[in-house]
Structures are given as structure tokens and as C-alpha cells.
Chain A
Amino acid sequence: MRVFTGEELKKYNGSKGVSYIAYAGKVYDVSKSFQWKKGVHQIRHHAGRDLTRALKQAPHHPDLLFKFPVVGKLAD
């Protein structure tokens, strides 16, 4: 499985149509999600980032993420 550094993850911010986000060490491809159009979710969350901390405050469980493909791991 591909290992992403934080810098590599930043490239997948939705600007080129591909949106990856990291959660709990895994990197998910949310490009096809309605909720991640143009790499932005609910105005304030941006693709290309580790959202582990942000998800703790989200009005939904992390399991909403689990339906999206895992494309790699986030480097420590």
C-alpha cells in the first residue's frame, strides 16, 4: 500500500479533480463524494489534509468515510 507523506497528500486537494483525505493513518479517496465537491467539505474542511482531529468534532461518525476506497497510509 502506498505511503503518503503530509507533503504528498497536499497535492490531492481537489484542485485537479482528485481529493484524498487522511483519517487515523489511512488515506481515503473521496473524489466521488457529493460532500467533497472541489475538495471542500462543509465550507471549512479541505482535501489533502489529515482530518483525524477535525472528525472528532464532526456531526457524524467516522464510519461515513469507510465506504470510500483506501488508497494508502499516512506516514508517521
Chain B
Amino acid sequence: MAKVAREMVEMTGVDVDELIELLVTNAAAELTTYYYYTILRANLIGLDGETIKEIAETARIEDRNHFEAIIPRIYELGGKLPESMVDFHNMSACPPASLPKKANDVQALLKVLVEAERCAVRGYTHVCNLTAGKDHRTYDLAQSILNEEIEHESWFSEFLGEGPSGHFLRRGDTSPFVSKFLK
């Protein structure tokens, strides 16, 4: 635990225990999404599915990166992960990104993907709003993750034809915003 780091956040009026709980539920959302995206990716087949597979894989890996990036902040603030993986899964901030009943329906798969990303965008916006100007490190972390989640949302939204975003597939390494927390 980083005692003074926690004190500094407490002094700004942020409820640190509440913040830790939020970070844990968002970490759970990232890891469970990583898991469920693994199943979605495996089912992205055929001409339409293969078109989306690579970008879904990037989102999957970046969500795992988000999980990795959040964990140190939880412990710095004096929090911890639940011992039970089942408990961790069930406290996720977002619903399971489950495979649609018709697994070869690529449109339905895309809707699952975009809804998962939208849940994440809302979640990290919430964390940013709570920490802006108060908890600089958590804000920086949440904002970095938010940048990537917004791009993920845009990718899948474009595949659904909802409108252009101007984003492209990653060139080079994954997690351009969050990688600084992973070194």
C-alpha cells in the first residue's frame, strides 16, 4: 500500500474505499470481457466474421492490458482482489459479453462487442469524473483506458454502419495509451 498516496487522495474528499470498489468492479469487467471475447473471436468465422476477427482480437488484448494496468492502483490505494475468481466474475461492472444464440450472426456478435465497449466507456467516464483534479494517478489511468475503450467502441460501431469515426486498425503495438502503465 502506498500510504501517503492514499492520504493525498483522501484529503481531496474522494471516498477511497468507494473508489477502490469501483476499480475492482472495472478490473473484473476487463478480465471477464477478455474471457468472453475469446469465445466471440473463435466464432468470428466466414467472410464477414474473418473481417472483424483481427480488430476484435486487438480489443481483447487491450482489455486484458487494462486489467493488468488497474491492479497496481487498487493495491496502492490499500485495496485487494477477491480471493475467489467466481466472486470476482460476479462483481463485474459490465454484463457478460456472451455469445449470441445464433453464433454465426455477425451483426449480433458486433452488437455484443459494441455494447461491452459502451459499458466500459461509461464506467471509465464515471471514474474520471470522480477523480478529475483530485486523484491524479487514477485519473491518468482511467483516462488512458477510456481513450482505448472509445476507439474500440468506434471500431465496432463503424462495422455496424452507425457512422464514421476516422479510426483505423492499430499500427504497431497495442494499447498506445495504456502501455505506459505496463512498463
Contact = CB atoms under 8 A, between A and B. Distances in A.
Given A34-B95, A57-B129, A43 B22 contact: yes
B95 A59 contact: no
Nearest to A33: B95
A62 to B, nearest CB: 13
A35 B115 CA distance: 13
Nearest to B93: A42
Secondary structure type dominating chain A contacts: loop
Contacts of A57: 129
A19 B43 CA distance: 36
Interface residues of A, number: 9
Contacts, number: 21
Secondary structure type dominating chain B contacts: helix
B174 to A, nearest CB: 25
B125 A42 contact: no
Given A34-B95, A59-B121, A59-B129, 11 more contacts: A42-B93, A42-B126, A43-B18, A43-B21, A43-B22, A43-B25, A44-B18, A58-B126, A59-B122, A59-B126, A60-B122
A36 B114 CA distance: 21
Contacts of B126: 42, 58-59
Interface string B20-51: 01100100000000000000000000000000
| CB-CB nearest 9 A-B residue pairs | A59-B125, A34-B95, A59-B122, A43-B21, A59-B126, A43-B22, A60-B122, A43-B18, A42-B126
